[in-house]
Amino acid sequence: MNAHPHDQADTSVDQHAELILDLLTPTLGTLGSEQVPLADALGRVTAAPVLSPVDLPLFRNSQMDGFAVHAEDLASIPATLPIVGEVAARPGTPARLLPGTAVRIMTGAVVPDGANTVVPVEDTSVTLFTDAETVTIGRARAVGEYVRNRGSDAHAGDTLLPAGIRLGSRHLAVLAAAGITDIEVKRRLRVAVITTGAELIAPGEHALPGQVYDANGIALVAAIISAGAVVATTHRVVDDPEAMLVALEWAASTADLIVTSGGISMGDHEVVREVLGPLGAHVGHIAMQPGGPQATGEFQGVPVLGFPGNPVSTQISFEVFLAPILRALAGLPAAARHRRALSAALRSVPGKRQFLRGRIRADGRVEVVAGPGSHLVAGLAASDVLLDVPAHVIELNEGDLVETVDL
């Protein structure tokens, strides 16, 4: 492959990533939060620490099925005590337990005032008389055994969850247990997608010569959702600047960020460049492959990222520049990176950071899938990882280590 003519002026991937972060920082900083019911909170991120409104457990209760007694009555073993009743795990306040008596108690049931220990049923034997029962206890118990004290899990005012937690089932469980019904979570970033290209048609239509199916629309939507953000609106624009303006206005009215694909090359019918260039957008070239052409700008105060239109370029641009920001915002872990041995030698383009498509082999080595061409959508779909080959690398030998990024 030939070097790009603007190599001297090319921005590095890291510089461009920083530029994008700077562009988005005001938006990210003012996203704010919203109140959602617990049932809608799975996967959302806590906006503030959540304090417990109650003690957990709410009341002193039994850890076992057995008998609630006064520990003092077990001073000499075996001890036989009359059974004066039963406390089940159900609403109600049991009567105070008098010394020298026992009450049958179920797991989770209120331990009666007066009682200070629970003897598990397996350490007891019950004798039934005509009109009464006694329990004989064969093992002494210390005060408090098998008793779950009120507040022993959390006290009212304790922090149940810190801010910044991505809510999973165990987090929702403790909120529900504390009687909480709604929770303040960070608002998700709303992203608008505009794909451009005179050659694009929707899957399902009949492709005439020169037409291609729009893969970027669905890929960007899926990538945005996978990265924990929300799709605000999607548009497909051919090469009409008027239509592009309408799409941008619609997008800017509903989204926090606009992502476009295509329309930023050097050609004559480049609608993103044509519409956003005069508004101050920067259309430049990054020292990377694929994904060289990149644009950044704003439309009516909403940041715009312009990705190149080749489907592989679009998707890799998203993974490299936007996914890390969206994932961090959504409390998702960054894509995993590993150093792996190459299954075969490879050559890379000097001066460009290459993101090759690869697959992990059974022996743990990584092999390159398909070529570097930015049109190889099937090759990308068959890949598990990107190989991140630094700009200074010209060739690597079989067995050399290369950094991979999980897809």
Residue position matching structure tokens 């070239």: 285
Taking only Cα atoms into account, the Rg of the chain, rounded to an integer number of angstroms, comes to: 32
3-state helix, strand, coil in the chain (%, to 5): 25, 35, 45
Shortest distance, CB of residue 290 to its own copies, whole angstroms?
11
d(C-alpha 179, C-alpha 329), whole Å: 28
The distance of closest approach from Cβ of residue 198 to its own copies in the complex, given in angstroms and rounded to an integer, is 4
In the numeric block, which tokens belong to residue 5?
């003519």
Residue 219 or 275: the one with the smaller Cβ distance to its own copies is: 219
Residue linked to tokens 């409390």: 331
Residue 343 tokens, joined:
């299954």
Q: Give CA angle at 40 (34, 44), nearest 5°.
A: 60
Nearest Cα residue to 347 out of 289, 296, 297: 289
Least CB distance to its own copies at residue 265 (A)? 6
Place of tokens 């399902």: 204
Closest approach of its own copies to the CB of residue 300, in Å: 28
In which element (H, E) is residue 377 found? Answer: helix 377-381
Cα–Cα distance, 70 to 117 (Å, whole number): 6
CB 338 to its own copies: min, Å = 14
Helix or strand holding residue 194 (H, E): strand 190-196
Identify residue 8 by its one-letter amino acid code.
Q
- Least CB distance to its own copies at residue 382 (A): 8
Residue bearing tokens 């019911």: 37
Structure tokens at 112: 């009666």
Q: Are 326 and 189 in contact (CB under 8 A)?
A: yes
Q: Residue holding tokens 């079989």?
A: 398
Residue 252 or 288: the one with the smaller Cβ distance to its own copies is: 288
Q: CB of 163: closest distance to its own copies in angstroms? A: 14
Closest to its own copies by CB, 14 vs 337, is: 337
Q: Give me the least distance between CB of 191 and its own copies, in Å please.
A: 13
Q: Which residue, 303 or 372, has its beta carbon nearer to its own copies?
A: 372
Residue 117 and residue 142 in contact, taking contact as beta carbons nearer than 8 Å = yes
Compute CA 336 distance to the chain's CA centroid, rounded to the nearest angstrom.
14
Helix (H, G, I), strand (E, B) or coil at 4: coil
150: Cβ–Cβ under 8 A, 6 or more apart, which residues? 55, 57, 58, 59, 60
Which CB, 148 or 352, lies closer to its own copies?
148
- Specify the residue, 11 or 196, whose C-beta has the smaller distance to its own copies: 196
Residue whose CB is less far from its own copies, 60 or 353 = 60
Q: Which is nearer to its own copies, 151 or 298 (CB)?
A: 151
Q: Which is nearer to its own copies, 224 or 252 (CB)?
A: 224
Tokens encoding 41 = 């909170």
Nearer to its own copies, 344 or 378 (CB): 378
As measured in angstroms, the least distance from the Cβ of 94 to its own copies is 8
* Least distance in angstroms from the C-beta of 165 to its own copies: 9
Chain position carrying tokens 């797991």: 107
CA distance 251 to 245: 10
- Nearest distance from C-beta of residue 255 to its own copies, angstroms: 18
Nearer residue to its own copies within complex by CB, 16 or 60: 60
Question: In this structure, what token pair is assigned to residue 305?
Answer: 């990222």
